[in-house]
Amino acid sequence: MLFFVNDYGEGAHEAILAHLAETNREHLMGYGSDPYTTRAKEKILAAAGCPGGDVFFISGGTQTNETVISAYLRSYEGAVACSTGHIACHEAGAIEHSGHKVLTIPGHAGKMDPAGLEAYLAAYYADGNHEHMVFPGLVYISYPTEYGTLYTKEELTEISRIAHAYHLPLYVDGARLGYGLMSPASDITLPELAALCDVFYIGGTKVGALCGEAVVFPHGAPAHFLTHVKQHGALLAKGRLLGVQFDALFTDDLYFKISAHAIRMAMKLKQVFLDKGYPLFIDSPTNQQFVILTKAEAEEIAKHAQFEVWEPHGPDAMVVRFAVSWATEDADIDALAAILPKK
């Protein structure tokens, strides 16, 4: 059975497993105080062009989002996000569970519109009763978005300008950051992204690691952030587990190389669907491809390949997601092409 359900269905890249094995018997300090974690942080800050910043490692994306957002917000503040943003849809109300509302605004193809953000903030402060409402305290976006789309550098610059004009930190969810940066459609570099936001994270779980995300504060972290991480149950005693993995990922550009490989596989996958006559729901330039299938087509393809049903598309069709990853091989795409009926 072919597997295109998600981008975290495999274990970890072999270089990570080797690094874990070769350091396994070393006696190291806990909670990220080991030399491998320190080295990984230095490599990440160098790659992001912010040597004076801070890096923290957290085990997963939802833990990261909840911990970071709650560290920034006062009790009466919420996070502004696109209506399709991950914190608004697929985190089981984790942000709300921490006592903060997700303030959603409409988006297009998964992206927050800068003009829409500015209009929302202007309308909020123009309301004579805004002191009785949840204050916008942070702006959250994803790169790539939940639909695989990318913000341009111009769009990111404008969102950053608007957020900072209202004294709001800009937080970029980078669960699939490598896949975004290495897409031919991307016109922004990692240092340029870091310069525009107050905090972002580099996703490892979906880009070659067993688990883990690297939270980067280009201009410095909020006070006592490590204590905040622990209070939220997100601090590993065996911090080496994450530090060793990111040390491997940021050695010899491995993170970027495996991300670029995934993008090559995604573009090959997209072309297979186009050649077979299947319409795209969104023309995604990253590792998630969204295709429109009839129910009959989906049932037939599901006999040979696993994928994720995303949403209905009319009475007899649906949008489905085919995701590739750092581990997808040409043979996987070729096998799908062989079983995919031509429309």
| pTM of structure | 0.97
Q: What is the mean pLDDT of residues 141-168?
A: 98
pLDDT band with cut points at 50, 70 and 90 for residue 287: very high
Category of 167 on φ-ψ map: left (φ > 0), alpha (ψ -120 to 50) or beta: left
pLDDT value at position 191?
98
Domains and CATH numbers, the chain: 2-7+255-339 (3.90.1150.10), 14-253 (3.40.640.10)
pLDDT value at position 170?
98
> In sequence order, which ranges of the chain are alpha helices (DSSP H)?
14-22, 35-48, 61-72, 86-89, 94-97, 114-126, 153-165, 177-181, 190-196, 225-231, 240-249, 254-276, 295-301, 330-339
- How far apart CA 291 and CA 297 sit, in angstroms, is 11
- The two structure tokens encoding residue 228: 């905040």
Q: What is the mean pLDDT of residues 310-332?
A: 97
pLDDT band with cut points at 50, 70 and 90 for residue 328: very high
